[in-house]
Amino acid sequence: MDIAILPSLLAADYGCLAEECRRVAAAGADALHVDIMDAHFVPNLSFGPDVTAMAHRTVPGLPLHVHLMMTHPHLLMDRFIDAGAASLLIHVEAACDLSRTLAQIRQSGVRTGLTLKPATPAAAVFPFLAEVDEVLVMTVEPGYGGQPFLPGMLAKLADIRREADRLGQGKLGLLVDGGINNGTAADCAAHGANGFIAGSALFRLADMRAGVSEMRAATTAAYGRMCQG
Ligand code: DX5
Ligand code: ZN
């Protein structure tokens, strides 16, 4: 049973991003989540390939989990692969050939993922489950950190986990992103999630290491109960 805790760089102190990357690595996180926004797919801008490359240079042992909130992810995906991404996630609502883009990512030796906005039904990713390592369910409207968790997304998690199990894909990573704290993370784990992306809840802590281990403990227990039940 693999639980993963991924702090989101979006909530870091931008005055010292390299130091913040080192703080995430020292906290025992499984990966660093890097949010890429294009001011078209979402109404905001964030980082690009150069900040991603900085993170890779700074903490080469920490996998970079790159979330492309972009209308045309295929136009820049090679730049993020070159920058050191370990996983690349594209949105199922993106304007690209999803299967082709996922295949190109996979051919580069990078893990693949599909992400859904809150209004997109679980069934939108069902045809692609065999083509991805993970599915990321947005639990807020993408674009900004610090928003409240949308509890209506719990049923979507359960639907995706059920379909993956039906297809024999018990190893599918099922992640959540937005409004994640120890309480909402445990609720998501009880509905089948095993990857937890948290921005404000982890970066605001003086002791991120304690925060990561508390979130890991809360979700491990809830996910274990879900697997048995
Ligand atoms: C939102 C981003 C999230 C964001 C979550 O569009 O995809 O990764 O950092 O922030 P919190 O945890 O503060 O809701
Ligand atoms: Zn994200």
pLDDT in tens, the chain (229 residues): 699 999 999 999 999 999 999 999 999 999 999 999 999 999 999 999 999 999 999 999 999 999 999 999 999 999 999 999 999 999 999 999 999 999 999 999 999 999 999 999 999 999 999 999 999 999 999 999 999 999 999 999 999 999 999 999 999 999 999 999 999 999 999 999 999 999 999 999 999 999 999 999 999 999 999 888 7
Q: What CATH number is attached to the domain comprising 199?
A: 3.20.20.70
- pLDDT (0 to 100) of residue 227: 86
Total tally of structural domains belonging to the chain: 1
pTM here is: 0.98
- pLDDT (0 to 100) of residue 24: 98
Is 227 part of a structural domain of the chain? Answer: no
Is 229 part of a structural domain of the chain? Answer: no
- pLDDT (0 to 100) of residue 1: 62
Is 56 part of a structural domain of the chain? Answer: yes
Residues 196 and 182: beta-carbon distance below 8 Å? no
Is 117 part of a structural domain of the chain? Answer: yes
For 105, 153, 214, the CA distances from 100, given in Å and listed in that order, are 9, 28, 39
Question: 35 catalytic, yes or no?
Answer: yes
- pLDDT (0 to 100) of residue 4: 98
Neighbours of 217 (CB within 10 A): 13
Q: φ and ψ at 91, to 5 degrees?
A: -85, 145
How many angstroms separate the alpha carbon of residue 139 from the centre of ligand 1?
Answer: 9
Is 228 part of a structural domain of the chain? Answer: no
**Is the CB of 49 within 6 Å of ligand 1?**
no
Question: 159 catalytic, yes or no?
Answer: no
Is 107 part of a structural domain of the chain? Answer: yes
- pLDDT (0 to 100) of residue 85: 98
- pLDDT (0 to 100) of residue 6: 98
Structure tokens at 112: 């693949």
Q: Say which of 30, 35, 38, 133 is annotated catalytic.
A: 35
Find the domain containing 206 and state its range.
4-222
Is 12 part of a structural domain of the chain? Answer: yes
Residues 21 and 62: beta-carbon distance below 8 Å? yes
How far apart are alpha carbons 216 and 220 in whole angstroms? 6
Residues 199 and 7: beta-carbon distance below 8 Å? yes
Q: Which residues contact 95 (CB under 8 A, 6 or more apart)?
A: 71, 72
- pLDDT (0 to 100) of residue 150: 98
- pLDDT (0 to 100) of residue 228: 85
Q: What is the position in ligand 1's atom list of the atom closest to the CA of 178? A: 14
Q: Tell me which of 115, 177, 200 to substitute to probe ligand 1's pocket, judged by most ligand atoms within 8 Å of the beta carbon.
A: 177
The ligand placed nearest to the CA atom of residue 140 is: 1
